[in-house]
Amino acid sequence: MRRAISRNIALVSAIFIVVFSTMLITNYFQVSGSQTIQSELLEGLRQINEESGGNLQLQEQIRELDLLARKAYFISLNRLRTGVVILLVMVVAFAVSLQVYFAKSRDIPDKEIDPIDDWLTKSRTRKYIVRSAGALAVCGLLFAILTSPYMRTERSETVAYADEYEYESQMPEEALAMTAEPESQSIASDPETTETAVAAAADPATTETVAAADTIQVSRVTHNAFRGNNSLGHSSATKIPTSWDPASGRNILWRVPVSRQGYNSPVINGNRVFFTGADEEARELYCYDLTTGKELWRLAARNIPGSPAQVPETTDDTGLAASTVATDGVRVCAIFATGDVICADMDGNRLWAKNIGVPSNRYGYASSLLIFGNSLIIQYDNSNSPRVISLDLETGNQRWVRERPQKIAWSSPIIAYVNRRPQLILMGDPNIISYNPNTGEENWRVECMLSGEAATSPAFSNGVVYAASEYAVIIAIDAETGTVLWRDNDILPDTSSPVATPNDVFVATHYGLFARYDAKTGEITKTMELNSEFYASPMIVEGKIYLVGTDGRVFILSARSDFSLINSFDTGERTYATPAFTDNKIVIKTEDSIYCVSSL
Amino acid sequence: MLVPMAIFAQHRFPQPDFESGYVYPERHYFTPAEPFWSYADVAMLVLLMGFVAWAVIRRQVRWPVILVSVISVAYFGFMRAACVCSIGGVQNVALGLVSSSYTIPLFVLLMFTLPIIFTLFFGRVFCAGVCPFGALQELVNVRNYRLSKTVTSVLGVFPWVYLGLAVLFAVTNSRFIICKFDPFVGIFRLGGELPLLLFGVALLVLSIFVGRPFCRFICPYGAILSLFSRVSFMRVKITKKECINCQLCHNACPVDAIRPPYENKVKESRSAGVNRILRYIILLPLVTVAGAVIMYMLSDRLSKVNSDVRLYDMVVQNETRPMEVQPLELQTFYGHGKTVEELAAEVAEINKAFRIWSIVIGAFIGLVIALTLIGLSTKRTRRFYEIDDANCVSCGRCFGYCPQNQLNKK
Quick: pLDDT tens for B86-135: 999 999 999 999 988 888 888 899 999 999 999 999 999 999 999 999 99
Q: Which of B140, B147, B266 minimises the CB distance to A95?
A: B140
Q: Is A21 on the interface with B (CB under 8 A)?
A: yes
Q: Is A82 on the interface with B (CB under 8 A)?
A: no
Quick: pLDDT tens for A461-497: 989 999 999 888 999 999 999 999 999 988 999 999 9
Average pLDDT over residues A224-242: 91
Q: Is A398 on the interface with B (CB under 8 A)?
A: no
Closest approach of A209 to chain B, Cα-based (Å)? 22
Q: What is the third-level CATH fold of A229-598?
A: Methylamine Dehydrogenase; Chain H (2.130.10)
Among A56, A65, A84, pick the best mutation site for testing chain B contact (most B Cβ within 10 A).
Answer: A84
Percent of chain A with pLDDT over 70: 84
What is the per-residue pLDDT for B23? 61
Q: Which residues contact A77 (CB under 8 A, 6 or more apart)?
A: A31, B9
Q: Is A37 on the interface with B (CB under 8 A)?
A: yes
What is the per-residue pLDDT for A72? 82
Backbone dihedral angles phi then psi of residue A123, each to the nearest 5 degrees: -60, -45
Q: Which of B1, B331, B369 minimises the CB distance to A133?
A: B369
The burial class, CB within 10 Å (0-12 / 13-18 / 19+), for B223 is buried
Q: Is A400 on the interface with B (CB under 8 A)?
A: no
Bigger pLDDT: A187 vs B226:
B226
Residue A164 pLDDT level (bands cut at 50, 70, 90): very low
Closest approach of B128 to chain A, Cα-based (Å)? 18
Q: Which of B248, B259, B297 minimises the CB distance to A144?
A: B297
Backbone dihedral angles phi then psi of residue A366, each to the nearest 5 degrees: -140, -5
Backbone dihedral angles phi then psi of residue B132, each to the nearest 5 degrees: -65, -25
Distances (CA, A) of B88 to A315, A434, B161, B164: 72, 47, 15, 13
Domain definitions of chain A by residue range: 2-102, 119-167, 184-219, 229-598
Quick: pLDDT tens for B62-97: 999 999 999 999 999 999 888 878 999 999 999 999
What is the per-residue pLDDT for B19? 53
Enumerate the residues of chain A whose CB falls inside 8 A of the CB of residue B334: 421-422, 436, 438
Residue A538 pLDDT level (bands cut at 50, 70, 90): very high
The predicted model scores a pTM of 0.58
Would the pLDDT of A503 be above 80?
yes
To the nearest 10°, the Cα dihedral for B36, B38, B40, B46? -150
CA angle, residues B170, B171, B173, in degrees to nearest 5: 65
Bigger pLDDT: A440 vs B323:
A440
What is the per-residue pLDDT for A166? 34
Quick: pLDDT tens for A339-393: 999 999 999 999 999 998 888 888 899 999 999 988 899 999 988 889 999 998 8
CA angle, residues B129, B132, B136, in degrees to nearest 5: 80
Q: Is A161 on the interface with B (CB under 8 A)?
A: yes
Q: Which of B5, B153, B372 minimises the CB distance to A21?
A: B5
What is the per-residue pLDDT for A313? 87
ipTM greater than 0.85, yes or no? Answer: no
Among A343, A420, A442, pick the best mutation site for testing chain B contact (most B Cβ within 10 A).
Answer: A420
Quick: pLDDT tens for B156-175: 999 999 999 999 999 999 99
Enumerate the residues of chain B whose CB falls inside 8 A of the CB of residue A69: none
Among A24, A60, A107, A151, pick the best mutation site for testing chain B contact (most B Cβ within 10 A).
Answer: A107
Average pLDDT over residues A58-77: 83
> Do you find a cis peptide bond into B274, omega within 30 degrees of 0?
no
Bigger pLDDT: A151 vs A279:
A279
Average pLDDT over residues B303-309: 92
Bigger pLDDT: B8 vs A127:
A127
Q: Is A88 on the interface with B (CB under 8 A)?
A: yes
Q: Mean pLDDT lowest for which of A447-461, B217-231, B297-311? A: A447-461
Enumerate the residues of chain B whose CB falls inside 8 A of the CB of residue A420: 315, 319, 339-340
Q: Is A120 on the interface with B (CB under 8 A)?
A: yes
For chains A and B, count residue pairs whose Cβ atoms are closer than 8 Å.
Answer: 194
Would the pLDDT of A173 be above 50?
no
Average pLDDT over residues A496-501: 94
For residues A449 and A222, is the Cβ–Cβ distance under 8 A? no
Domain definitions of chain B by residue range: 34-242+388-409, 270-375
SS3 content of chain B, % helix, strand, coil (to 5): 65, 0, 35
Q: Is A181 on the interface with B (CB under 8 A)?
A: yes
- Separate counts of helices (H) and strands (E) for chain A: 7, 35
What is the per-residue pLDDT for B322? 65
For residues A385 and A54, is the Cβ–Cβ distance under 8 A? no
Average pLDDT over residues A404-420: 88
Average pLDDT over residues A425-436: 93
Interchain pair B149, A439: CB under 8 A: no
Among A58, A87, A203, A331, pick the best mutation site for testing chain B contact (most B Cβ within 10 A).
Answer: A87
What is the per-residue pLDDT for A214? 43
Q: Which of B259, B262, B373 minimises the CB distance to A126?
A: B373
Bigger pLDDT: A85 vs A507:
A507
Interchain pair A154, B369: CB under 8 A: no
Bigger pLDDT: B49 vs B406:
B49
What is the per-residue pLDDT for B324? 61
Enumerate the residues of chain B whose CB falls inside 8 A of the CB of residue A177: 319-320, 322
Task: Return the closest-CA partner of residue A579 out of A244, A169, A165.
Answer: A244
What is the per-residue pLDDT for B266? 64
Task: Return the closest-CA partner of residue B148 out of A126, A112, A133, A128.
Answer: A112
* HSE-CB for A309 with a 13 A CA cutoff: 0
For residues A471 and A495, is the Cβ–Cβ distance under 8 A? no
Would the pLDDT of A301 be above 60?
yes
Enumerate the residues of chain A whose CB falls inside 8 A of the CB of residue B11: 32
Rounded distance, CA A90 to CA A308, Å? Answer: 65
What is the per-residue pLDDT for B251? 83
What is the per-residue pLDDT for B367? 95
Residue A153 pLDDT level (bands cut at 50, 70, 90): very low
What is the three-state SS of A204-236? Answer: HHHHHHHCCCCEEEEECCCECCCCCHHHCCEEC
Interchain pair B18, A158: CB under 8 A: no
